[in-house]
Structures are given as structure tokens and as C-alpha cells.
Amino acid sequence: MGKVKYLLMALMLWAASPVGYANEGGGGGGEEGGVSYLPLESIIVNLQGKRHYLRADIQLLVENQADADKIKAHMPMIRHTLIMLFSNRDPAEISAVAERENLRQSALEQVTLSLEKVGAEHGLEDLFFTDFMVQ
């Protein structure tokens, strides 16, 4: 019975160790050669009408950690671009799945254009909504 206790304790310690969580956190590990997901702070904007809001959580897919670091330096500009793009939209319109996809594509285009202005567009592969709430 004593060996079973030690075995269970060892398994519990291993599960709680960093090795047990090595692949958590999303993305491809952030290695120099692998893709990485770069999360943005939640974007919250007013929509058309009284008391309508949009909250979007967004992650950028970048080629590698070096590109992620370059893009991170321009987060205020990226957030501004997205806030301007999302503001004052019709809540009924962006509730439709097809329009949400159009908005995602527009967001990727606008962020890419903003990053081009500062020479940091290389490495940005895609943009994903990880949470999208219209209220």
C-alpha cells in the first residue's frame, strides 16, 4: 500500500509540474520557426442605437515569435484601427454570421494596412475572433 501512495503522489506532482502544461497557452509554442497567436485586449465599442455594444476578443496569427514582438510594439495603433472599424455599426447586421466573417476580413485588411505604414506587416497571417458579443 505504501508504494501505491508514492506512485499516486508522484503522478500528482508530475501533473502539476510545468511539463504537464507545456503545450497550453494556444499557438504553436512561439518558437522562432513556428506560428504564434498574439492576443489583443478586449475591444469594446458602442454600436448604433441606444445602449448597444460590441465586445470582441481577437488573436492575431503570426509566423514566429520575432514577428510577434515587432507587431506587439504597435498594439496601440492596432487597437485604434479596430475600434474605428467596429464603432457605430448596426447591431442587427453584425449579428449575422456572414457579416461577422466580412468584418473579420476587413479587420485583417485594415490591421495589415496600418502595419504596412510602419513597416511591420511581415509575419501577420490572419486575425481571429475568439469571442464576439453584441449586446
pLDDT, tens only, 98-109: 999 999 999 999
Go through the domains of the chain in sequence order and give each one's CATH number.
30-134 (3.30.479.30)
Q: Count the Cβ atoms, other than its own, within 10 Å of residue 58.
A: 23
pLDDT above 90 for 1: no
Grid cell, residue 76, equals 496601440
Q: What is the pLDDT of residue 19?
A: 39
Q: At residue 8, does pLDDT exceed 90? A: no
Give one DSSP letter per residue of 28-58, joined into a string. Answer: STT-SSS-EEEEPPPEEEE-SSTT-EEEEEE
| Local structure of residue 24 (DSSP, 8 states) | -
Looking at residue 121, its pLDDT comes to: 80
pTM for this entry: 0.74
The H or E element spanning position 13 is helix 2-16
- Please state, for a pLDDT cut of 90, what percent of the chain lies above it: 67
